[in-house]
Amino acid sequence: MTSAVERSAVAPVSGVEPARAALRRPAAEEARRPRWQRVLFVAALAGAAVTFLLPFVWLISASLRPRAYVFAPGFLPLPFAPENYTAVWGVVPLVTWLFNSLVVGVAAAAAVTISSAWVAFGFAYFRFPGRNLLFGLVLATMMLPFAVTMIPTYLIWSELRLTDTQVPLWAGNLFGSAFYIFLLRQFLLSLPREYFEAARVDGASYPQLFWRLAFPLIRPALLVAFVFEFKASWTDLLKPLIYLRDEHLYTLPRGLKVVLDRFGYGGEQQWEVVLAGSVVATVPMIILFFLAQRHFIEGIATGGRKG
């Protein structure tokens, strides 16, 4: 005989299934639109896509040209110089920086996703006096700019003797993020409370409610939070600038700053090396988005149903 937790975990959930259905809009509904509307819609999407893609296309093209032709007009990499990528891998420890960014990104994303999900579950499931006030205070922390907390946070890590380590780049995420708490709470509120009550009657503890029932059902929203934070960590330059001194601990953005200083402005003016490094830093995030695209869009669509 299965428990209520197991039955609830595999049962269809209101709020999740409608969002999935909305993502699979029937072709007949699209066909009912006037042709001119469809043409205009596709043209607008194509125009937006070209606008966003052109800078990246130019970046790739310029990174494949010799130094004298980097800023030449046009989008074709002529003359063709793929050795630029060999050069950038040889002059800086790019593999080390990529590995550091991957480790820090995964740690930061996992830490903030799990911690924020715990807090969101508490705000969504438990009923207690002052809950809305406390939730409002959590959201109010988003109004504080990073510059306000930058020096106090640095002093804390300095007292812990963790500066010039990668710990400050991700450990702060163990305390959650107001944005992800809000996102995950809205998703959790779309789940029927009866599922959790049935599991409690069956003897499930609160950690079991979270890990065995809520966690599997909010997986799309968790993936959204993970991808958002991984991207934020992957592109973060300010924290590595503040905390890291050892070049072998640098993340990719901090390493690219070294490449820019050494080979760009004030350096040797080898812009083909700078652009090749920029392409190497950009491609992993594009691959990540395409791999997680279906779940990513599903999570945003489902989370937006509960306001």
Band the pLDDT of 72: cuts 50, 70, 90: confident
Given the structure tokens 């995964």, which residue do they identify? 106
Let me know: does 153 contact 175? Beta carbons within 8 Å: no
Mean pLDDT of the chain: 85
To the nearest whole percent, how much of the chain has pLDDT over 90?
Answer: 48
Contact 138, 178 (CB under 8 A): yes
The residue segments making up the domain with residue 271 are: 4-32+82-303
Q: What percent of the chain has pLDDT over 70?
A: 84
Q: Is residue 38 part of a domain?
A: no
Give the residue from 177, 139, 201 showing the smallest Cα distance to 8.
201
- Rg for the chain, CA atoms, rounded: 24
Q: Among the ranges 2-6, 22-26, 78-82, 99-103, which has the highest mean pLDDT value?
A: 99-103
- Res. 155: pLDDT tops 70: yes
pLDDT of residue 302: 58
pLDDT tens-place string over residues 189-202: 988 888 889 999 98
Domain membership of residue 274 (yes or no) is: yes
Asked whether residue 59 carries a pLDDT value surpassing 60, the answer given is: yes
Tally of residues, the chain: 307
As a whole number, mean pLDDT of residues 231-245 equals 94
pLDDT of residue 296 exceeding 70, the answer is no
Q: Quick check: 5 pLDDT over 60?
A: no
- Which comes out higher in pLDDT, residue 305 or 254? 254
Residue-level pLDDT at 23: 47
Dist. CA 274–CA 252, nearest whole Å: 12
Whether residue 44 lies inside any domain: the answer is: no
Q: Taking CA 102 as the corner, what is the angle to CA 97 and CA 104, rounded to the nearest 5 degrees?
A: 95
Residue 17 in this model has a pLDDT that exceeds 80: no
Q: What local confidence, expressed as pLDDT, does residue 25 receive?
A: 52
Residue matched to tokens 């400050």: 168
Q: Give the Cα separation of 92 and 305 in Å (integer).
A: 47
Confidence of residue 137 (pLDDT cuts 50, 70, 90): very high
- Answer yes or no: is 48 within a domain: no
CB neighbour class for 84 (10 Å; exposed up to 12, middle 13-18, buried from 19): buried
Question: Which pLDDT value is given to residue 279?
Answer: 92
Q: Stretch 113-119: mean pLDDT, rounded?
A: 95
Number of domains in the chain: 1
Residue type, 158: S
Q: pLDDT value at position 303?
A: 53
Is residue 8 pLDDT above 70, yes or no?
no
Q: Determine, yes or no, domain membership for 42.
A: no
Residue 307 has pLDDT above 70, yes or no: no
Average pLDDT over residues 216-227: 90
Cβ count within 10 A of residue 77: 18
In whole angstroms, give the CA distance from residue 299 to residue 221: 5
In contact, 252 and 233? CB cutoff 8 Å? no
pLDDT of 252-292, one tens digit each?
A: 999 999 888 888 776 667 888 889 999 999 998 888 888 87
CA 233 – CA 249 distance, rounded (Å): 15
Q: Tell me, yes or no, whether 57 lies in a domain.
A: no
Within-domain flag for 102: yes
pLDDT at residue number 37: 84
Q: What is the CATH number of the domain that holds 123?
A: 1.10.3720.10
User: What local confidence, expressed as pLDDT, does residue 22 receive?
Assistant: 47
Tell me what the mean pLDDT of segment 56-77 comes to: 89
Query: What pLDDT is stored for residue 1 in this prediction?
Result: 41
